[in-house]
């Protein structure tokens, strides 16, 4: 079974530039999550999708972050414009149904450095 | 707001030693607790999931316990191996909001 795919793996940009990350979840998984993991901290949930609908985006900085999952499969997360404090690893995860009892499978992450 | 703390932040042990990693949380109204492993440059791998009604879960050399009333969980690793070197994170699930600790970075020396 193929795992969660993310690209790019690394990205370096200057502040105020825009950047986009892509995630392809495990086939058949209805729920997709984006997390931000700042160095030395645990991941923080940014947004959760159930199919193509948003379940929770309460911790997404909506003035600069946006995410979509138009066809209920792969997803993109965008930052525009980027700030220095956005430097982090952005992790994508998926689960079959999205219930609290279900295991989330994580991708390798995209490491973003904002200069 | 749920706060999750993991102590110690880093741990180095010789191969073969048994060890315990600690996780504490401030709000005992949780649905479940998970322990994850994170290798450098990689995503998280789920190790054990304990439902709020359970006291412990075991998988191979790993045993996780949960004491909801005191807001604590421990991950016990028996007979540690160099391949166990990684960062271990605990995450608490409540109301569909999963909160992670900052992790314990474990190094097992041959």
pLDDT band (50, 70, 90) for residue A1: low
Q: Minimal Cα–Cα distance from B37 to chain A, Å?
A: 11
Q: Kindly state whether B89 is in contact with chain A, defined as any CB-CB distance less than 8 angstroms.
A: yes
pLDDT for residue A98? 74
pLDDT band (50, 70, 90) for residue B37: very high
Which residues does B101 contact at the CB level (< 8 Å), separation at least 6? A42, B4, B5, B6, B23, B89, B90, B91
The nearest alpha carbon in chain A to B31 belongs to A100
- CA nearest A98: which of B13, B93, B37? B93
Mean of the pLDDT values across residues A16-21?
A: 97
Contact A43 B44 (CB under 8 A): yes
Q: What is the pLDDT of residues A85-110, one digit of tens each?
A: 999 999 999 999 877 678 889 999 99
Coil, helix or strand at residue A30: coil
Q: Kindly state whether B52 is in contact with chain A, defined as any CB-CB distance less than 8 angstroms.
A: no
Task: Spell out which residues of chain A touch residue B31, defining contact as CB-CB under 8 Å.
Answer: 100-101
């Amino acid at each position: 079974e193929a795992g969660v795919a993310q690209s790019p793996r690394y990205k370096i940009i200057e502040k105020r530039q825009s950047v986009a990350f892509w995630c392809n979840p495990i086939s058949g998984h209805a729920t997709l999550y984006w997390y931000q993991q700042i160095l030395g901290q645990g991941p923080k949930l940014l947004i959760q999708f159930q199919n193509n609908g948003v379940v929770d985006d309460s911790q997404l900085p909506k003035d600069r972050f946006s995410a979509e999952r138009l066809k209920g499969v792969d997803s993109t997360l965008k930052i525009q414009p980027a700030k220095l404090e956005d430097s982090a690893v952005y992790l994508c995860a998926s689960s079959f149904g999205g219930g609290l009892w279900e295991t989330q499978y994580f991708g390798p992450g995209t490491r973003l450095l904002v200069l | 707001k749920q706060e999750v703390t993991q102590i110690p932040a880093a741990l180095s042990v010789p191969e073969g030693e048994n060890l315990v990693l600690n996780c504490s949380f401030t709000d005992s109204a949780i649905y479940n607790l998970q322990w994850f492993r994170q290798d450098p440059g990689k995503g998280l791998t789920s190790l054990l999931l304990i439902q709020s009604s359970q006291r412990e879960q075991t998988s191979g050399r790993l045993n996780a316990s949960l004491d909801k009333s005191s807001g604590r969980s421990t991950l016990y690793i028996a007979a540690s191996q160099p391949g166990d070197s990684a960062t271990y994170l605990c995450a608490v699930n409540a109301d569909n909001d999963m909160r992670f600790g900052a992790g314990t970075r474990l190094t097992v020396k041959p």
